[in-house]
Copies of this chain bind each other. A is one copy, B any other.
Amino acid sequence: MTTSSLLTDHYELTMLSAALRDGTADRRCVFEVFARRLPTGRRYGVVAGTGRLPSLIADFRFSEEDVAFLTERGVVDRATARWLAGYRFSGDIDGYAEGELFFPGSPILTVSGTFAECVALETLVLSVLNHDSAIAAAAARMVTAARGRSVIEMGSRRTHEEAAVAAARAAYLAGFAFTSNLEAGRRYGIPTTGTAAHAFTLLHDSEQAAFASQVAALGKQTTLLVDTYDIAQGIRNAIAVAGSDLRAVRIDSGDLSVLASESRALLDSLGATDTQIIVSGDLDEYAIAALAAEPVDAYGAGTAVVVGSGAPTAGLVYKLVEVDGRPVVKRSEHKATVGGRKTAVRRHKPTGTATEEVVVSLGAPAPEPHDRLLQRAFLRDGVPVPDLPTLHDSREHLRQCLISIPWEGLKLSAGDPAVPVTMLGGSA
């Protein structure tokens, strides 16, 4: 997909027009991305999307066609049009690594440059981070609930066609094993999987014929979907066709906890003791957790993961916090914010358990043993820094971060943020 500079809110360009005209466009600014709160009851957020952002920002340009549209529609005047035609972000971006946890107030991204070049990025930055972080947080809870069993992302059909690709990426980042989305496989190298839907069985003259065809095409290392008609008969048909070395059966409907036990017993009685059971069908983190004691080998998660399981957006905002070195902050009620560029560390016990996140405005926290600095460089002078983490690096980073938080932080029930944030200094 090509980046479009018009994935932007109208007001960014009207602000830009006015600022170019009054001379404030070149003031040095710092914008910060943070969440005022986590979704209700959530104990952590997961930073996701920072792996997609650097190239999107480096490629953010207004084409001749873009500028012509904006001028014809009267969105910008001629001077602004000329400025946009030469747009190239030349500032710096720092932030939390992808896969890092965040809490209310964590300064997860810091964008520095002129007002003009930074303000134009608000929508793109927030769209990417709000979407991907919401999916990753929901997916991480499902992975925790699955207790080491594989989880497969199969939700593409329930979300926007391009959001589906980003959702597959965010779920993989969070520890999912596979996605059904082929474009996510191509674009990000994520392992893809899939075998058959009920339609394939219905297409054939009998369930046995469908199974025989699938095994002929894909071999016995496939998964047969056994719940189109009667599940017990479906399992018998599957083993009759494929033999006891069939890799897996999938059940997509019904009371999965009862069906998993019954199916395991039936498979075992047929000698198919190594044939795995994959369950799917409206699974969210709670449904997955409820199946922990059942003989399930893998979970397919669809709708719940791609819509963030009750929290479809991460609530991240992009706020101006510094102008020409002076901290600034909105003062009206209910939206208390600390101005100034922040430095953030996470403190840990000697055992490695995180105890606190300390965020300091216009300075840095006094170092303590077991501190971990949370911010890193993403772009310098508009150019992505070398050796940014890969998706696999970020996946491992999240895994380590989730090990480091207090155990209560992994509970699915509603609770406070797993790690408290202490905000120090610098209020404007």
Contact = CB atoms under 8 A, between A and B. Distances in A.
A363 to B, nearest CB: 21
Contacts of A209: 22
Contact of A213 (B1, B18, B162, B306): B18
Interface in A1-40: 1-2, 4, 6-15, 17-19, 21-22, 24, 27, 29, 31
Interface string A227-264: 11111000000000000000000000110000000000
A213 B22 contact: yes
A165 interface: yes
A38 B159 CA distance: 16
A112 interface: no
Interface of A: 1-2, 4, 6-15, 17-19, 21-22, 24, 27, 29, 31, 66, 69-70, 73, 75, 77, 115, 119, 122-124, 126-128, 130-131, 154, 156-166, 180-183, 185-186, 192-200, 202-204, 209, 212-214, 216-218, 227-231, 253-254, 303, 306-308, 312-313, 315, 318-320, 323, 328-335
30 contacts: A6-B182, A6-B186, A7-B164, A7-B181, A8-B182, A8-B183, A9-B154, A9-B157, A10-B185, A14-B195, A14-B196, A18-B196, A19-B203, A22-B204, A69-B186, A75-B182, A77-B217, A123-B156, A123-B164, A127-B156, A131-B161, A160-B166, A163-B163, A202-B320, A203-B323, A231-B332, A253-B332, A253-B333, A307-B307, A312-B312
Contacts of A227: 332
Most buried by B among A9, A161, A182: A161
A217 B17 contact: yes
Given A14-B218, A19-B200, A332-B254, A127 B182 contact: no
Given A9-B156, A157-B122, A18 B332 contact: no
Nearest to A23: B213
A41 to B, nearest CB: 16
A31 B204 CA distance: 15
B163 A213 contact: no
A216 B9 contact: no
A159 B18 contact: no
A318 B182 contact: no
Contacts of A12: 194, 197
Nearest to A131: B160
Contact of A1 (B14, B162, B182, B331): B162
